[in-house]
Amino acid sequence: MKLATETREIVTVAVDGMCLRGTHHRSRKKLAPARSERSRRIGVLFPNSGVMPRTATGDSAVYWADSFATVGYPSFRFDLAGLGDSDGQAPSRVLDFLARVNTGSYAPQICTIARSLTDRFDLSSVLLVAHCGGTVSAMYAAAASKEVKGLVLMDPYFHLQEAGGQRSLAGVAENGLPRNANLPLIDCWNQLSFSGTPILVLTAPSFKAKGGGFDFLDYLLSTSDRGNIAVQPIEDTPHSFAEGPGKEAVRKHIERWLDAWFPLAGSSSAVQNALELSALGSS
């Protein structure tokens, strides 16, 4: 408990008259002085995983944030409005919550948090690490925020949920996508992909079942500039990534991705790692 107190602090951000609360995991690695504006500190931001509080399943987000802070990346876990410890009223029904997520309603909050953190903690940029429904909000936010420079997406989805489940609606639209495709979200993905934003996608074995059988990720990768996108399946882990080898595997893959795309000041920029990560996306 003493160590946690010394290495973490509660931080708040005001959004539309509400107080959003988060936890700052202080960087615990002394780095060489930054040689340029671009090499200043980079922060890692975790928004909620669905309706889960900012700890995530099995305290997985706590573990990952602590790990990244230990190697030199200050990390922040935040509850969005109506979730966890933050102010606001959460929707009473899951489908109402998902409707907010799918239309990008939480993205402005993430943008405001990212902007506040970069100013307050002298960060050059923020990277978003998101899971499941959080990936939807993260993609909307990254497309709208100049502070967000990279994304880690765990089991992202690109379809709209129905009251009867996650099956695809009958028929296919003129663009070749199922009728339950979240087209504004897909537009965000395309914007991020073609702008060169580094994206790491981590998938669990159950990922293929999402979207009613249509493989949205394969479709999007087939139309994307793959040099900035890496996809890494993680075997023997549930959708939460919190059990089995999932939690540790996620940490290792993200740390490698961070070192490849966002090396810390004074560390070697692992160019070969970036090339290998790009190759993963094309395998």
Examine residue 59 and state whether it is found in any structural domain, yes or no. Answer: yes
Examine residue 33 and state whether it is found in any structural domain, yes or no. Answer: no
Q: Please check whether residue 15 is in contact with residue 81, taking contact to mean a CB–CB distance below 8 angstroms.
A: yes
Examine residue 32 and state whether it is found in any structural domain, yes or no. Answer: no
| β-sheet with 229-233: strand ranges across | 8-15, 18-25, 75-78, 42-46, 125-131, 148-154, 199-203, 229-233
The pLDDT of residue 264: 86
Domain harbouring 192, CATH code: 3.40.50.1820
Q: Is the dihedral of CA 261, 264, 270, 271 positive or negative?
A: positive
Q: What is the DSSP letter of 159?
A: B
Residue 30's pLDDT band, with cuts at 50, 70 and 90, is low
pLDDT digits (tens, 9 = 90+) for 34-63: 444 444 689 999 999 988 999 999 999 999
Q: Whose CA is closest to 258, among 132, 146, 135, 125?
A: 125
The pLDDT of residue 209: 53
Q: How many domains does the chain have?
A: 1
Could you give phi then psi for residue 281, rounded to 5 degrees? -65, -20
Examine residue 34 and state whether it is found in any structural domain, yes or no. Answer: no
What is the average pLDDT across 143-161?
Answer: 95
Expressed as residue numbers, the domain containing 269 is 2-27+39-281
Q: Please check whether residue 266 is in contact with residue 33, taking contact to mean a CB–CB distance below 8 angstroms.
A: yes
Examine residue 21 and state whether it is found in any structural domain, yes or no. Answer: yes
Count of beta carbons in the 10 Å neighbourhood of residue 233: 14
pLDDT digits (tens, 9 = 90+) for 226-282: 789 999 999 999 999 998 899 999 999 999 999 999 998 655 444 444 444 444 444
β-pair type (18-25, 75-78) = antiparallel
